[in-house]
Structure 1
């Protein structure tokens, strides 16, 4: 069969639209609340009302993605998100948007985005298979889009808020969801849906709880995946502690100003985007274990160490550039490992549970950072978290390094045997249990 790259290109476009739209709303909605109420507490409450349903529904919605299919879930979630998010500026214009109504809308929007994001993420190995492109190359392209969105979205959000105010920027976000749904409907193949005749298989059979339990069992039964998920949960918590508490305190106490924080994060994101593009080209040829150990050693502890040692701002910025470059190779590598080890019928469940677990500690990162500063001071906190980062990332690599290698090709099946369910997940010869 001729390789078809149209679904891959379409999903890349959808990913860019969704990432930019989501990041714009993450700026526009809090700004809308803060300027409207003057309350930092209300602003934080809105963020919590969006994040909690997002994590919960992403974890619990995996069986729905696996049962219905990535295309239908993504299409339905995007259309519903366009209506829900679009209701915020519409009700505001009509004078009907009370704060409880806003909380309800952002909670529903967060709940819809969970399975929608899950469906898009788990479409990656499907479009790679249809296109005949190595997974590392595809995950590198998606990593570059994610990093690039992080670079351009703040400027886009600021420009739109200046031009059409925050409600107008929120309306544009709703338009992004509608556009994403249109691209999904037109360009993603219906073969990504599994609700038609002949698509039932043992992994998608049974009730909701049985299917959710199958996802848990698969994740718990794969040592490498479980260790990587727990590692990402720890490093996410540490990264949130640095971004939300440690960097602002460092900038304030050192007299560096808020511009220094923007400089560090821009250096990290920009160089990470460049290396993600390189990973999409070189990924299949990179040695996985060496890439994992080397890049995590540079990208993880190094920025914490130089901040803790009190290096000058210009030298810390250089370290952030190098760390960002190293980090861009990691997500494509980890993504390829996850997609290789998870069979297609379980993609939604295992991916949703993995992502929810990886996010579980993030709400507590700021509290951990503030608590450590109060206990031992700022510089020791940077160094302690550098050690924690090193330990968390090296343990999976040391204990499961042999599992990093790509699986071998599946053995040939007899000509009269139906293998559509068992081989749909990829090239591994057995069922396989983000970051």
Structure 2
């Protein structure tokens, strides 16, 4: 368990440091503030392809092997930036090329670690609920501490040199995963087939399990709602009311801390309560919390609403990992998780685009009301889906090849 969570932590820390160092390096080398948007847009489609294709590769080669290989490849891509900077000089073309290469490896690596979780839980004798809750709490903690660590590294080192720290953390993550027992996450021998048939297996698994369809829809819907709320609505509110970026930070921090608390509560008592009860309580409470937050009350009430939203939504992510892991056949786990991650990656730009359009046309308050209504409708829809009645079934899917 320690090796697994340590690898996840190091990988996320590396990404956080890179998230601070790369924009700075990009701006200093190109002098173009719009270049970051160009690089992000250029890596969008490759990320989606990598999410789907990576799932196929994970099931064919093995979860542990892909996790190790992806972290090593990511380390190489990041280390290439300072090397190219010295040898050739970085321009936007290099940033795009190496950004695409990094995205191709990062997403399958993330998926591979997710699919390893049931194997680690079984090997350690820990319940899926406990390990999933602990993992999600660790992810939340890293996402809070990572940017602060990245800023600290940039005060000691220039942006190009700081990328060597990112490369080192990715390599260390690969080492910790490699130290896991070799029997974990091995590929299941199967007949070789065209990759389209491999993807058809994932679609078959999803169609055959109402719970999986419900969970995939819920995860995508939550991103569609939360992305514009946190990335656009709150910043627009502070700008319109004469606030500052310094005020936005504690609001986002409160949500993250609340979510860690919700994750830890689920890790502690998740297995003792019904899955349907957990999801129903989280969904109903989140509607109220989002309504409170989107109403844009006074500043400290805004911080409180954000914290409450984090707490009540905290159990949902680890619960979804548990339910998905139980219902996906071991030989199709990479493909199903890959398709789900692709859905989440697609939801973020869709949500932010729609949110930006609504804020520009209707204003922040009307958009906040619409976000609340959309989430309420989605939550009620999820609660009425057939999959809700089958959540208590603890089962592992059949062979769908």
> Shorter-chain-normalised TM-score: which range?
over 0.9
Instruction: Provide closer, same or farther for how the CA distance between residues 165 and 429 of structure 1 changes in structure 2, counting only shifts above 3 A.
Output: closer
Q: Is 2:236 aligned against 1:249?
A: yes
Contact 1:140 1:277 in 2 (8 A): yes
Q: Find the counterpart in structure 1 of residue 121 from structure 2.
A: 128
Q: How many residues align?
A: 400
Report the CA distance between 1:72 and its aligned residue.
1.0
Instruction: Provide closer, same or farther for how the CA distance between residues 220 and 160 of structure 1 changes in structure 2, counting only shifts above 3 A.
Output: same
Q: Is 2:361 aligned against 1:375?
A: yes
1:105-130 deviation per Cα after TM superposition (whole angstroms, max 9, x unaligned) = 01000001121111111000111111
Alignment of 1:77-88 (within 5 A): 77-88=70-81
TM-score in terms of structure 1 length: 0.87
Partner Cα separation in structure 2 for residue 117 and residue 310 of structure 1 = 34
Alignment of 1:17-416 (within 5 A): 17-194=10-187, 199-201=188-190, 205-300=192-287, 302-303=289-290, 305-399=291-385, 400-407=387-394
Instruction: Provide closer, same or farther for how the CA distance between residues 188 and 166 of structure 1 changes in structure 2, counting only shifts above 3 A.
Output: farther
Report the CA distance between 1:138 and its aligned residue.
0.9
Contact 2:70 2:109 in 1 (8 A): yes
Report the CA distance between 1:208 and its aligned residue.
2.3
Partner Cα separation in structure 2 for residue 431 and residue 334 of structure 1 = 21
1:200-257 deviation per Cα after TM superposition (whole angstroms, max 9, x unaligned) = 24xx642322212111221233222122212221221221112222111101111221
Greater shift, 104-113 or 91-100, is seen at 91-100
Report the CA distance between 1:325 and its aligned residue.
1.2
Instruction: Name structure 1 gaps, 5 residues minimum.
Output: 1-7, 408-426
Q: Find the counterpart in structure 2 of residue 417 from structure 1.
A: none
1:347-375 deviation per Cα after TM superposition (whole angstroms, max 9, x unaligned) = 00000001101221211222211211233
Partner Cα separation in structure 2 for residue 178 and residue 70 of structure 1 = 17
Partner Cα separation in structure 1 for residue 227 and residue 359 of structure 2 = 14
Report the CA distance between 1:155 and its aligned residue.
0.3
Structure ranking higher in helix proportion: 2
Q: Find the counterpart in structure 2 of residue 428 from structure 1.
A: 396
Greater shift, 216-225 or 69-78, is seen at 216-225
What secondary structure is seen at the aligned counterpart in 2 of 1:361? Answer: helix
Contact 2:30 2:91 in 1 (8 A): no
Partner Cα separation in structure 2 for residue 41 and residue 378 of structure 1 = 25
Partner Cα separation in structure 2 for residue 342 and residue 96 of structure 1 = 47
Instruction: Provide closer, same or farther for how the CA distance between residues 285 and 253 of structure 1 changes in structure 2, counting only shifts above 3 A.
Output: same
Report the CA distance between 1:322 and its aligned residue.
1.4
Contact 1:241 1:365 in 2 (8 A): yes
1:236-293 deviation per Cα after TM superposition (whole angstroms, max 9, x unaligned) = 1221112222111101111221122111110011121122122111110122222212
Contact 2:329 2:397 in 1 (8 A): no
1:71-130 deviation per Cα after TM superposition (whole angstroms, max 9, x unaligned) = 111111111111111000121133432220221001000001121111111000111111
Contact 1:25 1:170 in 2 (8 A): yes
Let me know the Cα RMSD of the aligned residues.
1.9
Q: Find the counterpart in structure 2 of residue 419 from structure 1.
A: none
Report the CA distance between 1:308 and its aligned residue.
4.1
Instruction: Provide closer, same or farther for how the CA distance between residues 299 and 166 of structure 1 changes in structure 2, counting only shifts above 3 A.
Output: farther
Instruction: Name structure 2 gaps, 5 residues minimum.
Output: none
Partner Cα separation in structure 1 for residue 48 and residue 13 of structure 2 = 20
Contact 1:62 1:115 in 2 (8 A): yes
Instruction: Provide closer, same or farther for how the CA distance between residues 430 and 286 of structure 1 changes in structure 2, counting only shifts above 3 A.
Output: same
What secondary structure is seen at the aligned counterpart in 2 of 1:189? Answer: coil
Instruction: Provide closer, same or farther for how the CA distance between residues 432 and 261 of structure 1 changes in structure 2, counting only shifts above 3 A.
Output: farther
Contact 2:328 2:396 in 1 (8 A): no
Contact 2:29 2:90 in 1 (8 A): no
Contact 1:289 1:397 in 2 (8 A): no
What secondary structure is seen at the aligned counterpart in 2 of 1:279? Answer: helix
